[in-house]
């Protein structure tokens, strides 16, 4: 086996890092005190603008109704509050960032620093030198000598967390005397004799419309009788159901006796984890899979959870048929539908 020998002429030259000349070209602000003062004013303006935008975010949160909308040329209708919060808080962060960059580029020392590679752990002397260098850098940054920049930066940073704190208020707490989330989710517009209609065409459904192994998304026929401030969104969200059909002998258990009809079972469509609508059904296993966090429910076995983060089974709606042969509810759900965050309360 031949050995490859590289002649000294072919050997790559070791770069000599120490030979690199670093020439510092003074900036205008280094030599012209007026330019330095102008840059200082610009930094202060940016920090002050940041504070103003943060206050604007707070004002927007208090003053703009949560349901106010605004039409934008290409985006269509958007929530005015979300738009105002996003713009004002985003500009507040942007101004802080621009201010810091401008300060560093124009006013902090601009000389290049060369650091040689060394062992990972520094010696005690080097550590002491690093601390001293940090303190020198701190002094050079002018943080102590430029009180107006320091105060405007600290003021802007102090205000910045406030929008984040007040937005926490939107985590739901029931007003005094209002029904708790569990009570609100326990009542839907389903009731005895309410027909099941398909969710798009809104046609009443007969048992023969639900194929064996199939899944049909459906709603209550009285959905449009509901009058709510937001149309019927709440009612629609709570009442959406799925119909599935399996052979009666495949049904292991139900949440109540006689709640299915000829192998057709009705379940809430809203995942009991955090409320995603579900329509992924595996005919062979009778498993219903939530696409959000993969909670899986066994519809042949009372809708029990077989996998995933959901802590509660999928509520079943008792169904039968009316005298004209259409599928109807026997009653409302017998347990709260939707996410079960309220159980932690």
Nearer of residues 123 and 285 to ligand FES, judged by Cβ: 285
As measured in angstroms, the least distance from the Cβ of 341 to ligand FES is 11
Continuous segment of H or E residues that includes residue 153:
helix 147-159
Q: State the minimum distance, in angstroms, from the CB of residue 314 to ligand FES.
A: 10
Least separation in angstroms between residue 276's CB and ligand FES is: 4
* Shortest distance (Å) from residue 200 CB to ligand FES: 23
C-alpha 152/C-alpha 244 separation (Å) is 63
Judged by CB, which is closer to ligand FES: 326, or 341? 341
Which CB, 204 or 275, lies closer to ligand FES?
Answer: 275
| Stretch (H or E) spanning 304 | strand 304-307
Q: Using alpha carbons, select from 236, 314, 237 the residue that is nearest to residue 281.
A: 314
Structure-token pair, residue 193: 């004799």
How far is the C-alpha of 152 from the C-alpha of 47, rounded, in Å?
A: 6
Nearer to ligand FES among residue 239 and residue 289 (C-beta): 289
* Min dist. Cβ of residue 280 to ligand FES (A): 10
Q: Which is nearer to ligand FES, 207 or 275 (CB)?
A: 275
What is the token pair recorded at 41?
């004013």
- Which residues share a beta bridge with 190? none
Place of tokens 């009705």: 266
Interface positions with ligand FES (CB under 6 A) = 271, 273-276, 290, 292-293, 295, 308-310
List Cα–Cα distances, 120 to 123, 235, 318, in angstroms. 10, 63, 69
């Amino acid at each position: 086996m031949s050995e490859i020998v590289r002649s000294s002429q072919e050997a790559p030259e070791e770069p000599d890092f120490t030979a690199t000349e670093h020439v510092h070209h003074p900036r205008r602000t280094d030599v012209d005190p007026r330019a330095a003062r102008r840059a200082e004013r610009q930094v202060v303006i940016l920090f002050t603008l940041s504070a103003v935008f943060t206050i604007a975010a707070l004002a927007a949160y208090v003053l703009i109704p949560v349901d106010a909308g605004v039409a934008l040329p290409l985006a269509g209708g958007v929530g005015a509050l979300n738009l105002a919060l996003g713009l004002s808080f985003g500009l507040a962060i942007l101004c802080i960032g621009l201010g810091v960059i401008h300060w560093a580029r124009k006013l902090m020392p601009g000389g290049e620093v060369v650091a040689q590679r060394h062992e990972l752990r520094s010696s005690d002397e080097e550590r002491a030198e690093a601390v001293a260098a940090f303190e020198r850098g701190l002094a050079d940054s002018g943080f102590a000598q430029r009180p107006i920049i320091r105060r405007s930066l600290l003021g802007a940073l102090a205000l910045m967390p406030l929008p984040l704190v007040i937005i926490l208020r939107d985590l739901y707490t029931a007003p005094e005397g209002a029904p708790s989330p569990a009570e609100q989710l326990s009542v839907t517009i389903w009731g005895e004799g309410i027909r099941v209609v398909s969710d798009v065409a809104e046609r009443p459904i007969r048992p023969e419309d639900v194929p064996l192994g199939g899944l049909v998304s459906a709603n209550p026929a009285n959905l449009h009788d509901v009058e709510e401030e937001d149309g019927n969104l709440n009612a629609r969200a709570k009442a959406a159901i799925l119909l599935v059909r399996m052979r009666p002998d495949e049904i292991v258990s139900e949440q109540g006796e006689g709640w299915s009809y000829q192998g057709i079972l009705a379940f809430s469509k809203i995942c009991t984890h955090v409320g995603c609508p579900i329509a992924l059904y595996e005919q062979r296993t009778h498993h219903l899979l939530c696409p959000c966090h993969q909670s899986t429910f066994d519809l042949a076995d009372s809708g029990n959870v077989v996998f995933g983060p959901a802590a509660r089974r999928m509520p079943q709606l008792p169904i039968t048929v009316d005298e004209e042969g259409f599928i109807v509810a026997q009653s409302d759900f017998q347990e709260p539908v939707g996410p079960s965050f309220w159980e932690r309360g």
